[in-house]
Amino acid sequence: MSGRPDDEARTAQRAATVSLVLFLLAVLAALAVTVSSVSPSVALLAATAVTPIVVLAVIFLFYERRSRAWSFAGSGILGVVGVVLRLVVNGQPQLEVGGGLPVWVTVIYLALGLSLVLSSVWAWVALRRAADHHA
């Protein structure tokens, strides 16, 4: 991207933050569907498994707004975790509510996770580049 490193960093940060918000919304929507359609014990298990992801996403969002490079790195890792978990669960349909999600839902979820990874890495690199430019 041409222009000043600060301009690239701002653009990358916005892209990464939007990706994280969309990813978080997808995780919360999936949790809501799961909790509403399974037994209480399975709902508790799902909520217990997803809560750390939600908490980390909220923490990363908070610090992304403060331009902390580590929060973008963390968001990227969170995106990798989300993609890997989706692929693992997709490979084990018995773990899914109702025996499995439609393919289009899996594709969207994977696209959101990959978008989060790529935009977060871009933001992290752009912030590092801008910091080096100011040093």
User: 84 in a domain, yes or no?
Assistant: yes
The arithmetic mean of pLDDT across residues 1-11, rounded, is: 76
Q: What is the pLDDT of residues 116-129, one digit of tens each?
A: 999 999 999 999 99
pTM tops 0.75, yes or no: yes
Token readout for 83 is 């993609």
Domain count of the fold of the chain? 1
- Expressed as residue numbers, the domain containing 18 is 5-129
Token readout for 71 is 């929060």
CB-based burial, 68-77: b 16+ in 10 Å, e otherwise: ebebbbbbbe
User: 31 in a domain, yes or no?
Assistant: yes
User: 27 in a domain, yes or no?
Assistant: yes
More confident residue, 6 or 61: 61
Q: What is the pLDDT of residues 69-121, one digit of tens each?
A: 999 999 999 999 989 988 887 777 666 665 566 778 888 989 999 999 999 99
User: 134 in a domain, yes or no?
Assistant: no
Q: What is the pLDDT of residues 12-70, one digit of tens each?
A: 999 999 999 999 999 998 888 878 877 888 788 888 988 999 999 999 999 999 999 99
Q: Mark out the alpha helices in 38-68 (DSSP H runs).
A: 40-64
User: 72 in a domain, yes or no?
Assistant: yes
User: 110 in a domain, yes or no?
Assistant: yes
User: 135 in a domain, yes or no?
Assistant: no
Q: What is the chain's length?
A: 135
User: 101 in a domain, yes or no?
Assistant: yes
* pLDDT number for residue 3: 58
* pLDDT number for residue 13: 97
Contacts of residue 78, defined as CB under 8 A and 6 or more positions apart, other chains included, come to: 20, 23, 53, 56, 57, 60, 116
Mean pLDDT of the chain: 87
